Structure 1
Amino acid sequence: MNTPTPEAPFTEPWQAQVFAMTIALNEAGHFTWTDWTAEFGPRVQKAEAAEYWRIWSEALVALLERRGIAGAGEVAALTARWQAAARATPHGTPIVLSAAD
């Protein structure tokens, strides 16, 4: 696994996506940066640099769950649906996520 650096903070596409999702949820008013740092800060202080984005993702899921926005199970189910849709989509074609069953 590559370690993020200031010059290349994202080593995988999902890292940029979870970052963008965090920004969008903050801008939509679902949580403040104070809420975010209270969740993320203690987790990341104990982590290795290579774990940064995994910790970020876990903190976001925990914050969403605490705020009643989405539970961990809902996030996992949506992630599985998204991954299946991505695998089924030819390269260069937009990924379409069908409505939940």
Structure 2
Amino acid sequence: MSAPDPLALPGLPRDEIGPVFAEPWQAQAFALTLQLHERGAFSWKEWAETLARRIKDAGPTDDGSRYYEHWLAALEELVTSRQLAASSALHERRKAWEDAYRRTPHGHPVELDVGPAR
């Protein structure tokens, strides 16, 4: 599979070097998307169309500051539609991160307690 050109995506936050991320989760979602594409989970065309639809659905008042939220929603949509993960599992993981964030003192790294191995 040929490598996608993520810089070709309209609206991608970037500088002269490449994509820029305000939060670590944004870079992780970006990297996961590229990895899943490389492994054949979806075509780059499918990815771009799904992301474009998510951005369009946000409406004309979207100022672009939520770009990676749309990115993550598009990724979750493709992952669940391809049955790579159940939507319930994604929901549980999101809730676990939210809970970890709430109990973490300001200025400390947020860590997810994954519990015992299954």
State the TM-score, normalized to the length of structure 1. 0.71
| Equivalent residue for 1:41, pick from 52, 70, 92 | 52
| Equivalent residue for 1:54, pick from 42, 54, 69 | 69
Give the structure with higher Rg (CA).
2
Deviates more, 1:35-44 or 1:10-19: 35-44
| Equivalent residue for 1:18, pick from 10, 26, 29 | 29
Q: Which runs of 5+ in 1 are unaligned?
A: none
State the partner residue of 1:67: 82
> Which SS does the other structure have where 1:50 is aligned?
coil
The change in CA–CA distance for 1:29 and 1:44 in structure 2 (over 3 A counts) is same
State the partner residue of 2:14: 6
Counterpart amino acid of residue 54 in structure 1: E
Count residues with an aligned counterpart.
95
Conserved? CA contact 1:82–1:97, under 8 Å: no
Structure that is richer in helix per residue: 1
- d(CA) in 2 for partners of 1:99 and 1:33? 36
State the TM-score, normalized to the length of structure 2. 0.62
